[in-house]
Amino acid sequence: MTTSDEPTPQAAQATAYWTTGPERGELRDEPLHPPGPGEALVRTLYSGISKGTEIVVHTCSVPPRVAEAMRAPHQEGSFPSPVKFGYLSVGIVEQGPDEWMGQKVFCLSPHQDRYVIDTAALTRIPDDVPARRAVLTGTVETAVNALWEAGPRLGDRIAVVGAGLVGGMVATLLRTFPLARLQLVDLDPERKQLAEMLGVEFAHPDDAEADCDIVFHCSASQEGLERSLQLAGDEADVIEMSWYANRDVTVPLGEDFHARRLSIRASQVGVVARARRHRRTTADRLNLAISLLKDPVFDAFLTGASPFADLPAVVQKLADGQLEALCHVIEYPNAEKYSHPAPEDRT
C-alpha cells in the first residue's frame, strides 16, 4: 500500500505511430501500464509495413460501411483517424509469466516500441526463424488462409495474378505443391526477378496460360480481376484477395463469367477459411504460418529497412511511390542486440 511518505512510481512510457489525418502520421508518447496477471510487457524489435492495407489507412480510404469489420486486432482509435494501426510486430518479452520471459514473439500489434498485452495474443517464434523474417508471419497467414479457401488439388493448373507481397506469398506456398502448372503473373517485368528467387515461373498478363483450375487475384486492380476471369477455366474459381477500399471496380460479367460458369470467392484473413473453421483456430493458423518461415526463401520479401524514428516519413514515401517495397521493415532501438543468441561464456 502506498502512503504519502512513499514516492509515487513514474509511469512507464511507450511511443506509437498514429495516422492523424489523410496522408498524415506521427509518433506519439503514451503511458504504459504494468502487466497484470496473464499479461506480458513486450519490447518491439521489428515491425513490418503491409503496404497495401496500411496505405489505405494512411490515406483515410477505409469505407465507413466496413470500418468496424476491418479493424486490426489491437488497433486503437477509429477509422478514418486518428488511429493506431499495424499488425506485423516482432518483439521480446521483458516482463510477464515465467514461461514467457525472454521469449521472442510475434503479435498482430500496431507499430509501437513497447506494449502490454495478454499472452494469449502472442505467438512464440521458433528458434530456427530469424526475428526479422518473422515480421512476415501475418502475411504468410493470409496466404495460408487463401489456400485453405481454394483447396488446390494434385495436378492443378494455377495462376497468381499480382506479384506483390500477398501474391508472392501465395506463389511461394504453392511452389511446393504437386501442381501441373504454376505461374506468377504481373505487368511489371522487374517482378520476374522475384519469381526467379522464389523458384516460380513468371508471366506477363498477355502471355499467361489460360484454362486454370484456380486463379488467385492479388493485384488490387480492375484489369487484374478482368484478366483473372479470362485465365480461369470453365467452372473454375477466382479467389479474390485484393482489397479495393473505397475504389469502385467494374467487373465484365457479360463476358467469361456467365458464359463459362465461373465463381469469384472472397478470401479475407479476419476469420479462418470455411473449409477449416471447425477444426482450426486463428492461433493454429498463426503457428502454422510462423513455422513455414524457417525457409530462407522468404527473405526475398524483406526489401528495405528504416529506423522507427523515420516511420512517418517512410509511410508517406510508400504512399507517394518514392519508395518501392514488398515488406519494408521498421527497426527499433537495440533490435540487433536482442535478435541473436547471447555468445556462450567460455571462461
CATH code, 335: 3.90.180.10
Q: Which of 161, 263, 259 is nearest to 209 (CA)?
A: 161
Same domain, 214 and 247: yes
- Mean pLDDT for the stretch of residues 291-301: 98
pTM: 0.92
- Mean pLDDT for the stretch of residues 141-151: 97
The pLDDT > 70 percentage for the chain reads 94
- Mean pLDDT for the stretch of residues 253-274: 94
What 3-state DSSP class applies to 217?
strand
- Domain hosting residue 203, numbered range: 145-266
Longest CA pairwise span in the chain (Å): 82
Output the pLDDT for position 1. 35
Same domain, 165 and 252: yes
Q: Is residue 108 assigned to a domain?
A: yes
Q: Is residue 35 assigned to a domain?
A: yes
Q: Would you state the cell numbers that stand for residue 261, as one nine-digit string? A: 460458369
Same domain, 258 and 300: no
pLDDT band of 87, cuts 50, 70, 90? very high
Q: Would you state the cell numbers that stand for residue 151, as one nine-digit string? A: 483447396
Q: Is residue 182 assigned to a domain?
A: yes
d(CA 218, CA 267): 10
Q: How many domains does the chain have?
A: 2
pLDDT at position 347 over 70: no
d(CA 168, CA 158): 13
- Mean pLDDT for the stretch of residues 328-336: 92
Q: Is residue 274 assigned to a domain?
A: no
- Mean pLDDT for the stretch of residues 146-171: 98
Q: Is residue 74 assigned to a domain?
A: yes
Output the pLDDT for position 11. 59
Look over the chain and give the mean of its residue pLDDT values, rounded to a whole number. Answer: 93
pLDDT band of 336, cuts 50, 70, 90? confident
Q: Comparing 86 with 344, which gets the higher pLDDT?
A: 86
Output the pLDDT for position 340. 55
Task: Give me the residue label for grid cell 471496380.
Answer: 249
Output the pLDDT for position 337. 76
Output the pLDDT for position 334. 83
Output the pLDDT for position 335. 85
pLDDT band of 322, cuts 50, 70, 90? very high
The CATH number given to whatever domain includes residue 252 is 3.40.50.720
Output the pLDDT for position 323. 93
